[in-house]
């Protein structure tokens, strides 16, 4: 079938942030199904050139994609049952006519629904798949074996031991090297099932990304800096992390107190043993970046400050303020990652603690940074988030997934001096979210980025995540019908009105 030509969009480079999990679907969580393709159509109608997503990796029990059990494996909750019906591996009756659920994600319910449906698809696939489909699956397994084999075994063991962390498994299974020599048959069957899920993820995401490219839309995704203790990376090679002989962290990662988090944040992930990474010429980092570049068009380096120094909190302490800064070999990592084209596909999240060294590292490698307009109203001349300081080497956001929405910030968090600065610039504060969107579009930023909640003018009910807390995060969903053609026309007008010919 002949592919249609990619459209050449003329307009101010701009994009929308929206997690895949937030898109409308019938199964408790957004996925790669019809709702995602309708979303792409709306983005194209709105003249958008970028779609930024959260990491597409497996989430933890609280729904956080930054605490994933694997930095490589795709989140099977995002698989579309409708696409499996189209492929012939499910009957329409297997999917049913479930109504659209509530406006928030229920991860446990979604997991029960998807796991049951995907189990049926797997059994039917084994019975009815044609030779070509089997060959595609086998080719994927062979191509991704280096990470897929340990991950699938780890996931199967998690299922077998009722989702307990690896350090609570029997001693013989607490390391990859010992487990691979004695895998029970039931676990082998589970391992095969998880390779099937990862193949489906690759197939469905590749098709959706191709559809985005057909509409002139590029995907921005994250490369998290840390990995949690309960992950296949730590289970597979403890020597890469600062752990005790029993596998417990000596220190954990976090950030110190700041104006936005007076107590700081204790993330709990183990910190790296840099001597081991150096010895292997940062091969682990190279593989992670290559995987991210294979999944996304642009990769955002999360927590870029970590490439200069990281905040180490002794594991025995429960408060982030008890930590200290430790230098990291970020320049060596970036030099090792250097390729002819990778820099053109990277942006960095340089928010939070401001460091001249991090800024120097970013500029030295010519990497675009991140600015957030709701941070730009202190009135201080050196505020890097204020409109006069926003230049062509940054992506500028109205707000982010870690902040309140523009309207939520204005209603609940803006200080008196910030309100004064906003009123001086905009004169009026009605429809404030559109005033912020317009300002970002008219700024000198390389790309204007807006979370979909700000496009909709939502308040704090649209907030996705509140750093430092563990409850009620990552649950927001986009209700069907909210993204109208009128909103699309308004955004397209902004892109065209601010196009520098």
66 strand-pairing partners:
none
- Which two tokens mark 73? 């494996």
User: Minimal CA–CA distance to 231: which of 268, 198, 264, 275?
Assistant: 268
Strand spans (E) along 127-223: 218-223
Q: In angstroms, rounded to a whole number, what is the distance separating the alpha carbons of residues 44 and 26?
A: 23
Active-site residue, selected from the candidate residues 302, 332, 359, 393: 302
382 is catalytic: no
Alpha helices in 227-302 (DSSP H): 232-236, 274-279, 283-295
- 302 catalytic? Reply is yes
Q: How far apart are CA 282 and CA 127, in angstroms?
A: 43
Per DSSP, the chain holds a count of helices (H) and strands (E) of: 18, 12
In sequence order, the β-bridge partners of residue 77 are none
8-state DSSP, 333: H
The span from the CA of 286 to the CA of 280, in Å, is: 11
By the 8 A CB rule, do 171 and 163 touch?
A: no
Residue with tokens 């930590």: 323
Given the residues 31, 203, 402, 418, select the one marked as catalytic. Answer: 402
What does the alpha-carbon distance between residue 23 and residue 38 come to, in Å, rounded to a whole number? 10
Please indicate whether residue 287 is annotated as part of the active site.
no
Helix axes 185-214, 131-143, angle to 10 degrees: 100
- State the angle between helix axes of 432-442 and 416-426 in degrees (0 to 180), rounded to the nearest 10: 70
| CB contact set of 48 (below 8 Å; sequence gap of 6+) | 14, 15, 16, 217, 491, 495
Q: Which of 349, 350, 418, 454 is catalytic?
A: 349
Catalytic residues, by residue number, are 302, 349, 402
């Amino acid at each position: 079938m002949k592919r249609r030509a990619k459209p050449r969009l003329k307009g101010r480079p701009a994009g929308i942030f929206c997690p895949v999990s937030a898109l409308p679907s019938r199964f408790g969580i957004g996925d790669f199904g019809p709702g995602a393709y309708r979303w792409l159509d709306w983005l194209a109608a709105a003249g958008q050139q970028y779609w930024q997503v959260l990491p597409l990796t497996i989430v933890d029990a609280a729904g956080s994609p930054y605490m994933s059990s694997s930095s490589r494996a795709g989140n099977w909750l995002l698989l579309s049952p409708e696409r499996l019906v189209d492929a012939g591996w499910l009957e329409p009756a297997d999917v049913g006519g479930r109504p659209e659920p509530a406006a928030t994600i229920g991860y446990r319910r979604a997991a029960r629904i998807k796991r049951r449906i995907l189990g049926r698809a797997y059994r039917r696939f084994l019975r009815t798949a044609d030779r070509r489909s089997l060959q595609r699956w086998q080719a994927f397994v062979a191509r991704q074996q280096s990470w897929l084999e340990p991950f699938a075994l780890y996931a199967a063991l998690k299922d077998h031991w009722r989702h307990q962390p690896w350090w609570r498994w029997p001693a013989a299974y607490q390391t990859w090297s010992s487990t691979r020599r004695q895998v029970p048959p039931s676990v082998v069957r589970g391992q095969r099932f998880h390779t099937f899920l990862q193949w489906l993820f690759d197939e469905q995401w590749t098709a959706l990304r191709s559809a985005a490219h057909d509409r002139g839309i590029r995907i921005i995704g994250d490369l998290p800096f840390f990995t949690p203790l309960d992950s296949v990376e730590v289970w597979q090679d403890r020597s890469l992390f600062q752990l005790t002989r029993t596998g417990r962290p000596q220190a954990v990662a976090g950030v110190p107190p700041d104006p936005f988090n007076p107590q700081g944040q204790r993330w709990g992930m183990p910190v790296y043993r840099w001597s081991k990474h150096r010895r292997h010429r940062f091969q682990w980092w190279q593989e992670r970046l290559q995987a991210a570049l294979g999944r996304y068009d642009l990769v955002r380096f999360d927590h870029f400050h970590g490439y200069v120094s990281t905040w180490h909190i002794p594991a025995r302490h429960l408060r982030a303020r008890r930590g200290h800064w430790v230098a990291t070999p970020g320049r060596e990592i970036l030099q090792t990652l250097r390729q002819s084209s990778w820099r053109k596909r990277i942006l960095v999240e340089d928010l939070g603690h401001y460091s001249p060294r991090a800024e120097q590292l970013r500029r030295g490698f010519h990497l675009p940074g991140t600015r957030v307009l709701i941070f730009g109203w202190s009135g201080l001349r050196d505020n890097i988030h204020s409109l006069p300081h926003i230049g062509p080497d940054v992506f500028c956001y109205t707000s982010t997934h870690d902040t309140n929405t523009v309207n939520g910030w204005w209603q609940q968090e803006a200080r008196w001096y910030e309100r004064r600065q906003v009123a001086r610039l905009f004169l009026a504060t009605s429809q404030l979210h559109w005033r912020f969107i317009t300002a970002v579009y008219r700024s000198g930023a390389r790309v204007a980025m807006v979370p979909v909640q700000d496009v909709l003018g939502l308040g704090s009910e649209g907030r996705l995540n509140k750093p430092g807390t563990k409850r009620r995060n990552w649950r927001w969903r986009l209700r069907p019908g909210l993204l109208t053609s009128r909103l699309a026309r308004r955004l397209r007008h902004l892109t065209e009105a601010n196009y520098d010919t």
